[in-house]
Amino acid sequence: MTETITLHTGSRQEIRALFELAEDSAAQLDTYLELGDVLVARVGDRAVGHLQLVPGTNACEVELKNMAVAGDRQGTGVGRRLVRAAADLARARSAHRMTVATAAADIGNLRFYQRVGFRMLAIDRDAFVPATGYPDEIVVDGILLRDRVWLDLDLDHPG
Ligand SMILES: CC(C)(COP(=O)(O)OP(=O)(O)OC[C@H]1O[C@@H](n2cnc3c(N)ncnc32)[C@H](O)[C@@H]1OP(=O)(O)O)[C@@H](O)C(=O)NCCC(=O)NCCS
């Protein structure tokens, strides 16, 4: 059964568990959970994925702040369709660029974002450390979680 993707109008707490799939720091999540717009992918009544868009650093930019797909639905194209829907929403709001930040250690996420059209932009070293609310010594695929990678998607020339 294919999901439907709509703007989430209900409580963010209802779908907090999805946000937590993509955020290791509860303290960080508290700072941005209520911001921006959230698209939610539903199959029947069940939320199987979400994508949060917040304003970017300038008026023509939006940031993909958090997204996740429920474990049993991952790898079935929901994430790709959420990014497409977010790009349509951003263009409708006159944005020209979508940025996203992810962990350099998470090779799977880096593959996902590049497969849906994002390109590498910049690196922040030591962004995921206890001082910024992240537990010590998180290891992903054998790589210490430390650095943050920024990628961007050109909304005028996707693909
Ligand atoms: C990352 C995530 C949102 C991707 O959503 P998804 O619905 O599983 O992705 P899709 O099925 O749309 O996949 C699109 C492409 O990305 C690839 N891809 C997705 N996740 C991948 C992974 N972990 N490793 C390698 N490739 C991956 C798919 O293989 C597919 O590639 P293809 O076009 O060559 O077939 C999802 O796996 C997830 O929720 N992960 C946990 C939370 C998280 O880390 N969120 C991102 C925080 S930055």
Q: What is the pTM of this model?
A: 0.95
Q: Is 43 within the bounds of a domain?
A: yes
Distance 150 CA to ligand 1 centre (A): 17
Give nearest CA residue, ligand 1 atom 39.
Answer: 68
Phi-psi region of 6 (alpha: psi -120 to 50; beta: other; left: phi over 0): beta
Reported as a single tens digit per residue, the pLDDT across 42-72 is 999 999 999 999 999 998 999 999 999 999 9
Q: How many domains does the chain have?
A: 1
Nearest to 109 by CA among 41, 12, 23, 16: 23
Q: Is 159 within the bounds of a domain?
A: no
End-to-end CA distance of the chain: 27
Q: Which CATH number do you get for residue 87?
A: 3.40.630.30
pLDDT tier at 87 (50, 70, 90 boundaries)?
very high
Closest atom of ligand 1 relative to the 108 alpha carbon: 24
**Side chain identity at residue 105, one-letter code:** A
Q: What residues make up the domain containing 86?
A: 4-154
Reported as a single tens digit per residue, the pLDDT across 100-128 is 999 999 999 999 999 999 999 999 999 98
Q: Is 50 within the bounds of a domain?
A: yes
Give nearest CA residue, ligand 1 atom 18.
Answer: 112
